Structures are given as C-alpha cells and as structure tokens.
C-alpha cells in the first residue's frame, strides 16, 4: 500500500486532533470539553453534511445511477448485521450477538465525514447523494436486530414475557436525533438548492473542518477512556472489530464494482459499510435488548473500529478501490 495515502490521511488536522484527545487521556491531562458542546458539534456536523448533500442532490437530480448506489447502501446495511450475527453467535450469547451485529450493521457519521474530508484532500469527487445513503444506512441494522431479538430470544423460565413497545423502539430506530436531523437538513438542502446553500455556507461550509477538529478532539478523549474496558472484551471480539470492517468494505467494494459506481462514491460506500455505530444503535439496543452488555459493543465500536477506520482504514479502502478502478 502506498505510504503517501496513509500520510495524507494522518496529517489531516482533524485526524491529528483525534489522536491529541487520546494522548490527553493517556498522559492524564485534565483536558475536557464541557457539556453540552460535544452535542452541539455533533448537531453542527449533521446539519452541515445534510445541507451540503441536499444542495449537491438538487444540482445533480435523481437518476438510475443514484438509485443503484442507494440500493447498495441499503443492501449492505441489511446484509452486514445478518452475517455478523451468525459469526458472533458461534462464540457468544444471543443478546450480545444481536447488539454487536446491529452496531456493525449501522454506520458512523463522523467516519463518513472524515472520509469526505480525505477525498477533498486528495482531490477525488463524490456525489452529494452519498449523504442520503448514509442516512438510509443508519436504521435497517436496528430493525434487523429487533427481528433477531423476536426470533431468538425466549422468555426465561418463570418469567412472564414482557410486551415489546414497538412504537418506542421503531421511533428510536427511524426518528432518533441523528437520522431525523440529517434527513431534515438534506431535505432543506434539496428544497433551497444553490441559493440556500450559499446563504448558509459561511457557517456550515467555511467552518466545517474546524468544527470537525473540535468534535474529533472530544471523540479522542471519549475513545481513550473506553480503551481500559477492552481488557474485559477478549481476543475474539477485538479481532472481530478489526477484521470485520475490512470484510464489510470488501463486500461493498465488490457490489460497487459490479454496478460500476464511481471511485469516490465506491470509497464512501466501502467506508460506510466498514464503520460501526456508537450513537444511534447503542441507544436503540439499550431499549430493545437491555440484557446485552454495553461494556462490549460500545468500546469495540468507539475504541477499536473508529480509530482504526479514521487512521488506517480510510487510506486502505481507498488504496483497494483505486487499484481496482485505476
């Protein structure tokens, strides 16, 4: 693999801020980002990419190519939790298999944002509709997780089966704040088009990279604090958290190649498939499978897969796609 690709990604200021956050925890610095600022950064990033994606989509329009790319995205978000669940079930109980499979079936918006920043750095174009594919990939894994819970989880002896509050859980799956805001911003971007985007650009375009650096600094702090929890996780799951992203990226790359998806879009599909959720899915899993241990699925996603993806995963997936696409 071309070392330059890794260097270009690692020398991206927001990525370096992520590692700075981690370093602060390792060196026992008192650095913290006071609440509720991290939530503000998260809301900012979702609005920014939603608006920009909507604007791009309003310029390009909707066609068969976009439909195919969106279908690959949805297909991957349904396929990944299914095969992940059966792999995990060979070594783990049903509850944790469901929660971890759903975590890896859904996506990380910040990984996607770091990916598009990387594409900007190396000058590769991508379609604005990819933001829509990201939004579409958030929820199916949660629903698959719920279906597995209904199929495989039986009430314990002597325990009356509790009625599942499907309304609450489906609301969490499809209307959780991340998905709601992202889809809402995307629609506003489509409706207001070029004029709307230019009026919002000073805040949501120009400041974007700086806000991403702030958010990744916080993510670095949070991820590093989760690392000590990995001692309880065990070798199998850590290997899963490192190998599975690559497997998922390769499967997505295969589909993208088959459907002749453009290089930048194919890279983002691979990256989205490789990423794991640490916001939407954990909340939904706490509601639907409270028996699953959050001390497993959250550190895996946040302290193993996320750092791997934004440091080595991004250049690695791009290298594979660039080799195939030429």
Partner 1 sequence: MKSMKKVEFVIEAVYVNRLIKLFKKHKIYGYTIIKDIEGAGGHGVRTADDVSDAFSNNYVFTVCEAEQFKDMEVDIRKFLEKYGGKCMLIDVMLLLGEKQRQESINLQYSGKVN
Q: Which residues lie near partner 1 (CB under 8 A)?
A: 32-36, 38, 42, 162, 168, 218-219, 221-222, 225, 229, 278-279, 282-283, 285-287, 290, 294-295, 298, 302
Continuous segment of H or E residues that includes residue 88: helix 64-89
Percent of the chain that is helix, strand, coil (3-state, to 5): 80, 0, 20
Between 148 and 278, name the residue whose CB sits nearer to partner 1. Answer: 278
Q: Are 215 and 110 in contact (CB under 8 A)?
A: yes
What are the residue ranges of helices labelled H in 202-290?
208-227, 235-258, 263-274, 280-288
Shortest distance in whole angstroms from residue 291 CB to partner 1 = 9
Between 88 and 281, name the residue whose CB sits nearer to partner 1. Answer: 281
Between 122 and 287, name the residue whose CB sits nearer to partner 1. Answer: 287
Q: Are 31 and 98 in contact (CB under 8 A)?
A: no
Between 17 and 126, name the residue whose CB sits nearer to partner 1. Answer: 17
Shortest distance in whole angstroms from residue 193 CB to partner 1 = 32
Closest alpha carbon to 72 in 205, 229, 271, 314: 271
Q: Are 242 and 107 in contact (CB under 8 A)?
A: no
The CA distance from 150 to 148, in Å, is 5
Closest alpha carbon to 145 in 294, 285, 301: 285
Shortest distance in whole angstroms from residue 229 CB to partner 1 = 8
Shortest distance in whole angstroms from residue 306 CB to partner 1 = 10
Between 89 and 286, name the residue whose CB sits nearer to partner 1. Answer: 286
Shortest distance in whole angstroms from residue 39 CB to partner 1 = 8
């Amino acid at each position: 693999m071309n070392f330059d690709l890794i260097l270009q990604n690692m020398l991206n200021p927001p990525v370096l801020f992520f590692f700075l956050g981690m370093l602060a925890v390792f060196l026992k610095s008192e650095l913290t980002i006071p609440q509720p600022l991290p939530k503000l950064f998260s809301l900012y990033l979702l609005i920014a990419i939603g608006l920009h994606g909507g604007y791009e989509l309003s310029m390009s329009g909707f066609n068969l190519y976009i439909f195919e790319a969106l279908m690959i995205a949805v297909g991957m978000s349904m396929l990944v939790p299914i095969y992940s669940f059966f792999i995990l079930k060979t070594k783990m109980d049903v509850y944790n298999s469901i929660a971890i499979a759903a975590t890896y079936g859904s996506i990380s918006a910040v990984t996607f944002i770091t990916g598009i920043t990387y594409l900007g750095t190396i000058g590769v174009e991508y379609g604005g509709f990819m933001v829509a594919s990201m939004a579409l990939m958030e929820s199916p894994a949660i629903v698959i997780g719920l279906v597995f819970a209904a199929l495989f989880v039986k009430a314990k002896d002597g325990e009356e089966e509790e009625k599942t509050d499907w309304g609450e859980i489906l609301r969490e799956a499809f209307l959780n704040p991340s998905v709601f805001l992202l889809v809402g911003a995307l629609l506003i971007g489509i409706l207001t088009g070029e004029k709307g985007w230019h009026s919002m650009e000073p805040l949501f375009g120009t400041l974007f990279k700086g806000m991403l650096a702030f958010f990744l600094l916080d993510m670095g702090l949070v991820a590093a604090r989760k690392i000590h929890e990995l001692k309880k996780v065990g070798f199998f799951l850590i290997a899963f958290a490192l190998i599975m992203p690559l497997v998922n990226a390769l499967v997505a790359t295969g589909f993208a190649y088959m459907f002749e998806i453009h290089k930048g879009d194919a890279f983002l599909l691979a990256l989205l498939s490789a990423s794991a959720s640490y916001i939407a899915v954990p909340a939904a899993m706490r509601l639907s499978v409270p028996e699953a241990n959050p001390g497993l699925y959250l550190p895996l996603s946040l302290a193993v897969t996320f750092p791997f993806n934004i440091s080595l995963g991004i250049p690695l997936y791009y290298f594979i796609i660039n080799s195939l696409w030429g």
